[in-house]
Structure 1
Amino acid sequence: MDWITSSVLVCVAAVVLDRCLGEPVRWHPLVGFGALANGLEQRLNRARGTSVWRGAVALAVLVVPIVVAVQAMAWWLPQPLNLLFGVLVLWSALSLRGLTEHGGAVAVPLATGNLGEARARVGWIVSRQASALDEAGVAAAATESMLENGADAVFASLFWFLLAGPAGVVAHRLINTLDAMWGYRNDRFLRFGRVAARLDDVVNWLPARLTALTYTLLGRRRLAWRCWRSQAPAWDSPNAGPVMAAGAGALGVTLGGPAPYAGGLKSRPRLGEGPAPDAATIGRAIGLIQRGVCLWLLVLAAGAAAAGVLPW
């Protein structure tokens, strides 16, 4: 079986598996990896002003052996088992159903007027101070989380599997996890987490822009394109900016703006145009991601068919 056919089959199977089962509930590999990363960070990042090189060494020690082992496994396994291995790896990296469930857990109580429950639920998926958010703030936080994590946990996983197979998926998810754990601009992680943060910017640069393009094509195209081009450069993240600006424009709502965090109110640029988001906006953001995945799979299948490798 050629590469194009196997890639299409693996992507479709992994998405279906994620839809049916969701993320692994027990023994999720990223949970164990996070515990290992936390222990290594505590050993190497004890002194204030720890060098950038210690963070780089920690990242290499954590990521390289796992990626090499996954690549070796992909080379060693015979074709049928290799396909199954690819499906399992991609499934463990995808979080489409997880996003749907987390977003729905915020949208349902918000739509029924249970602001306290909605605040509690959104506090599980964002780092801002949920207790200080009003209804529009809760909806905005959840919508932003859906759009950004759609790029990180869905489209980037598909992209890296297509580009570099199971090893590419694993490398991306591990780097993304370390960035989430160490990529803070505070005294503890400013230097130690710098390599993880910069490497995450690199590996997500193209997937983020493909995600922004996907949101643009499937939403209010002209508005999404205009917001992407004019608003994204003002955002502090080079990858989240295009994704959320295009997503906000595609949905026709206004995101960004001031947001409360534990350290105080953080001023952020406005993204998108239109009314403030509400509970329905969260569902629309999830639908945008789901349609985007369908579009990617259709494009893959059409490309394979055009190359004459699929029977249809």
Structure 2
Amino acid sequence: MAFTTLPEHDDLGAVVPPKARLALYGHEAAFAELIRARSEKRLHHAWLLQGPRGIGKATAAFAFARLLLNARTADGEGATASFFSEDPVIRQIATDAHPGLIHVTRAAQERGSGFRTQITVEEVRRLARFFHATGASDSYRIAIVDPADDMNRNAANALLKMLEEPPDRALFLIVNHTPGRLLPTIRSRCRALRFDPLDPLTLDRTLAAIAPTLSEQERQAMVSASEGSVRRALVMEEHGGIEIVDALEPLLDADRPDWNGIAALADQLTLKGREASFDLAIDSILSTIAKASEAALDAGDGARAARFAALWQSERARIREAVAYNLDRKQVLLTLYNAYHAAAADRFESA
């Protein structure tokens, strides 16, 4: 049964959003920890669902919320958790109508189209009104913050105050892509739950369930290039991600920067309407930097690993600032490309 859901900032075309998905695939260990905590009556009031973007953390949060709000479960082949679409609890959650659940995310712009770039303090204050309106009861009152990375400082401080003095029977499920983006005081008041990228089989099964029009060949291409992220796979399919990765690979592997090649690619990726393709290119280079750090660590070269890790961190911060101030995207890409080659130059010193 299909649900009519309100638009949200991270919607992917016709793909069903996490709040309306009827099954969670993968993440068995993380989900089992939540179930175990509930059954042993030691369910902490705030959980930090941490892991890379797009791997299913929000889907897991909504799945657990359904269980706590007594939605009927179903037998789903290969699924960690599965639910009956006809259950009224499922419909209420999918349409933002359940009195026991609130979903805090980036709000729509008050004027014009589109969404805000941050979760503001006004959105977090909705939580106070939600808990006051629902009052204390025997049922859980659940707040899903998705993702906490998008909160501005005022919003983060407002959430921290609630975590310090949580209402009775309140449960906070806080989605977090990058731990460094959160206030340490928020992290210290939550129980961290790690989510890892999906393995190829589980990712293929997930894509088959939420994007049934994809062919097996299309899914396999997406699985091999998406690093365990459902969202990355879907964005790559919609915005030519496979072609972008193929174009970047020789540019990154070259023994010196190919300025003509990267400039030509940047010209294409910064055309109007190709924002998602540009983001994929940035993510691909950042992923290459992260893999270089991991490879150096595996080889016992701690200094090189630290250099690439520091580069990843600094470039992430620089790119966030560039986005916030709407700086020239072509220059952002060229600077990142140059920084990678400068860090990787010692690959060829002995050649």
Q: TM-score, normalised by structure 1?
A: 0.30
Higher helix share: 1
Q: Tell me which structure has the larger Cα radius of gyration.
A: 2
Higher strand share: 2
Q: Which has the higher contact order (CA 8 A, sep 6+)?
A: 1
Q: TM-score, normalised by structure 2?
A: 0.28
